[in-house]
Structure 1
Amino acid sequence: MIFHNTQLENGLQIIAELNPHAHSVAIGYFVRTGARDEVMPVSGVSHFLEHMAFKGNEKYSADDVNRIFDEIGANYNASTSEEITLYYGSFLPEYIGTAMELLSTLIYPTLRQDDFDIEKKVILEEIGMYDDLHSFTAYEKVMQAHFQGHPLGQSILGSVQSITDLTSEQMRAYHAKQYMAGNITLAIAGNADWDQILELVHQFCDVWPAGSTDRPTDEAKPTPGAQIITEKPIQQQHIMQLAPAPAAKDPLRLAAELLSVIIGDDSNSRMFWTLVDPGLAESAELGFNEYDGSGTWLTYLCSDPELTQSNLKLIQQIYNEVNTNSITQEELDRAKNKIASRLVLRSERPMGRLSSLGGNWVYRQEYVSVEDDLKLLNGVTLDAIRELLKKYPLGHSTTAAVGPMANVIVD
């Protein structure tokens, strides 16, 4: 692997992990903008812009963009989170010039009014579709409650009202502010030539406007609370709970990732053997999410409503035991092996490396190779786990419940 990085005069950062033995190349534009960077009148605009990107520009229509991506056999898409909008594709190395031009087109689309009006209907349909997904509703509600008054509590999709009221002028103003070159990182992984990459970047990106926007990253201080949403027609109860956890730049984040696997992975974790394997719950998981300045433990439970209260008590018993007595060396070693395997298997494809490559740079301005990842992972000790639990104990400060139960008791 050969790592390169540089920065254009306008602020665009370019990083590349090149592997001449790979059979493909993956490219991603990581735009440091998402739901947390919006104000309420334009809630959902980042995700809306992701859709509008594929409508093309003066040179390429929406049909052109999708047709040409298909012609070169690319695997391409985009995603929006609370903090990053990502435009990416993977393809054969001989098509890097075409792919770079199309992906660069996505960053500065024309944002035509006709396209805006059509896509607004698509976004509203998408909001309706996700409203029917009860686990998603629980996630939206628990994020809003946990991060009340903090930008991370803002919805990625927005609301029917905010999208209905959004104008194309508001979208263009948001795009002009957030899509400056200094807010963007271009990441490349796989089989490519660095000199060719630079030539293409200068060709397509030199004209992008310079500048960047600030993002407040104060750690959230959640107020404990619960939201109960009663949905009588459904058969299962969905519970989501959040508690503070390490932020993206906190060295304890690796310990948190390991602990989440030990306690709440979807196989061979404490929660799996206590709740899922005996048939007490369909799902019982603990996840760790890191953000700029904040982080969360996310507990998810899906079970028969009649078992919800007893299942929540079992989860809390697990958390109390771990908070008091930590974990065993055997559990830590097993989790290290599990995560190491996932890291290595994912890294064997350029597309699998792209997310890690870009994420590390956007959040921490650092390059971490697979070998570095494995060393950092193996360096996590039981002392680090104990330090983590002292600072960020497992538990819940916020709960959202969706299902037939009119009341959920959270101890």
Structure 2
Amino acid sequence: MPEFKHATLPSGLRIVAETDPRSYSMSLGYFVRAGSRNELDPQSGLSHFLEHMMFKGTARRSAEDVNRELDELGGQSNAYTTEEQTVYYATVLPKFQDRIVDLLTDMMTPTLDEQEFETERQVILEEIAKYEDQPPFGAFERAMEIHFSPRGLGRRVLGTSESIEAMTADRMRDYFHTRYRPENIVLAASGNVDFDGLVAMVQTATEGWSGRRAAESLVPDDPDQLPAGIELGNRLAIADAMQAYSIEIGNGPSSEGDERYAGRLLATILGDEGGSRFFWDLIDTGRAEVATCWPQEFSDCGAWFTYLVCSPGDLESNRRFLHDLVANVVRNGVTEEELQQTINKMTAGYIMQSERPSSRLFGLGNRYLMYGQYLSLDQTLEKIRAVDQAAISAVAKRYLAAEPTEIRAQMTSP
């Protein structure tokens, strides 16, 4: 059976693992409390920008060395940035544990070279432009900006073209020294892990991390001024769009309490992409191409998204139809049969995912970074199975009864 182990180094760096000697692989990841909600206006996009730069070389390795060694280990590796964290992870065979620990830990002390910084600035500007060409993307960003304000949780993960163009390497270095301190980091591992060897190796390799200090002190953002490049209208005009996109956002459960399990089950019953109420009444009938909903959970709050894609001429009728389906759930709840079917579906999904150490890694690292807590698979399954019709009804009434904010994107008028 998997066993949970944890240690806190003198520096404050936390190391956690769910070890299972039966596994054929092991996964490792550094989880850093550095996301877009941690940034100020002059730092907008820095968490994500810094994620790119962590692959651009260290004092011991060039950028080519980093990428070559990742390939040589033959596993999977990547990184991502969200509103609340940045994660660097890899999955390899257990015999490569020391090598991947050495490599990922070394990457956590990047050189942040000026020339590489300028090269990567252009990469990120192109990434922003690419997403701006995809109609739903800008609407999702706008929904977050309006709902949460364009700062904090509503700040764009990529930043804006204006903020990236104004960024400096010195500001990035200061942000790195502020956020990438050991007390802001969790190293998580799962699978066939030598935990004692992991702790010993990391303690030696990270001794200098406590000395990171930022030199720059920024003034607070002015709440009366919008950040550069931000607009807050709830209509987005898209040239040459053949479909209409409607995104609605309201409050939702956070990732902290047990209410989130009822929220996830409700979203599956109502708006899962296959077999849900939205699916049978809007997708299967040909009314819409996409009709779905989901909760977006953060550490201290949440959001509830509803997403509709259809012909512009059908948008208003489909929105009314969708709202009727939501109102019915708020008014009448869900049936015991569909709840049990959804519980079976969700628990089966969790069990199958748990067979991969990489899947367990993210839940382990995320939860320990945010709350200092560990939830085993069995504990999670118990919480899902404990959800009853009353819990579903309570979540529906709390989060779906209020009028959501709609962001609409469609073709500009000729």
TM-score for the superposition, normalised by structure 1: 0.93
Structure 2: runs of 5+ lacking an equivalent: 215-231
Corresponding residue for 2:330? 323
CA separation in 2, counterparts of 1:193 and 1:210? 28
CA separation in 2, counterparts of 1:122 and 1:78? 16
Corresponding residue for 1:196? 197
Q: Matched residue of 2:287: which SS?
A: coil
User: 8 Å contact 1:242–1:396 — kept in the other structure?
Assistant: no
Match of 1:281 among 281, 285, 288: 288
User: 8 Å contact 1:316–1:395 — kept in the other structure?
Assistant: no
User: 8 Å contact 2:299–2:370 — kept in the other structure?
Assistant: yes
Corresponding residue for 2:302? 295
Q: Deviations over 1:127-171 (max 9, x none)?
A: 111111111111111111111165111000011110000000111
Deviation at 1:395, TM superposition (A): 5.5
CA separation in 1, counterparts of 2:139 and 2:352? 32
Corresponding residue for 1:33? 34
CA separation in 2, counterparts of 1:365 and 1:332? 31
Letter in 1 for 2:383: L
Deviation at 1:387, TM superposition (A): 2.1
CA separation in 2, counterparts of 1:168 and 1:339? 45
User: 8 Å contact 2:150–2:156 — kept in the other structure?
Assistant: no
Deviation at 1:334, TM superposition (A): 1.1
Corresponding residue for 2:226? none
Q: What percentage of residue pairs aligned between the two structures are identical? A: 36
Distance 1:300 1:405, change over 3 A: farther
RMSD: 1.7
CA separation in 1, counterparts of 2:233 and 2:316? 14
Q: How does 1:327-346 map to 2 (within 5 A)?
A: 327-346=334-353
CA separation in 2, counterparts of 1:206 and 1:134? 46
Residue 393 (1) aligns with residue 394 (2): no
Residue 377 (1) aligns with residue 384 (2): yes
User: 8 Å contact 2:36–2:157 — kept in the other structure?
Assistant: yes
Corresponding residue for 2:52? 51
Corresponding residue for 2:174? 173
Q: Matched residue of 2:55: which SS?
A: helix
Q: How does 1:218-367 map to 2 (within 5 A)?
A: 227-367=234-374
Deviation at 1:251, TM superposition (A): 2.3
Corresponding residue for 1:206? 207
Corresponding residue for 1:77? 78
Deviation at 1:391, TM superposition (A): 2.4
Q: Which moved more, 1:311-320 or 1:195-204?
A: 195-204
Corresponding residue for 1:89? 90
Corresponding residue for 1:163? 164
Corresponding residue for 1:137? 138
Q: Deviations over 1:110-141 (max 9, x none)?
A: 10101101100101111111111111111111
Deviation at 1:376, TM superposition (A): 0.9
Deviation at 1:345, TM superposition (A): 1.0
Corresponding residue for 1:113? 114
Deviation at 1:226, TM superposition (A): 6.2
Letter in 2 for 1:148: S
User: 8 Å contact 1:77–1:87 — kept in the other structure?
Assistant: yes
**Runs of 4 or more above 4 Å deviation:** 210-213
Deviation at 1:206, TM superposition (A): 2.7
Deviation at 1:259, TM superposition (A): 0.5
Distance 1:209 1:372, change over 3 A: same
Deviation at 1:108, TM superposition (A): 1.7
Deviation at 1:212, TM superposition (A): 11
User: 8 Å contact 2:55–2:63 — kept in the other structure?
Assistant: yes
Q: Deviations over 1:231-263 (max 9, x none)?
A: 130101111110101112132111101101110
Structure 1: runs of 5+ lacking an equivalent: 214-224, 407-411
Q: Matched residue of 2:34: which SS?
A: coil
Letter in 2 for 1:45: L
Distance 1:210 1:272, change over 3 A: farther
Letter in 2 for 1:106: M
User: 8 Å contact 2:258–2:383 — kept in the other structure?
Assistant: no
CA separation in 1, counterparts of 2:400 and 2:281? 20
CA separation in 2, counterparts of 1:210 and 1:339? 45
CA separation in 1, counterparts of 2:285 and 2:192? 47
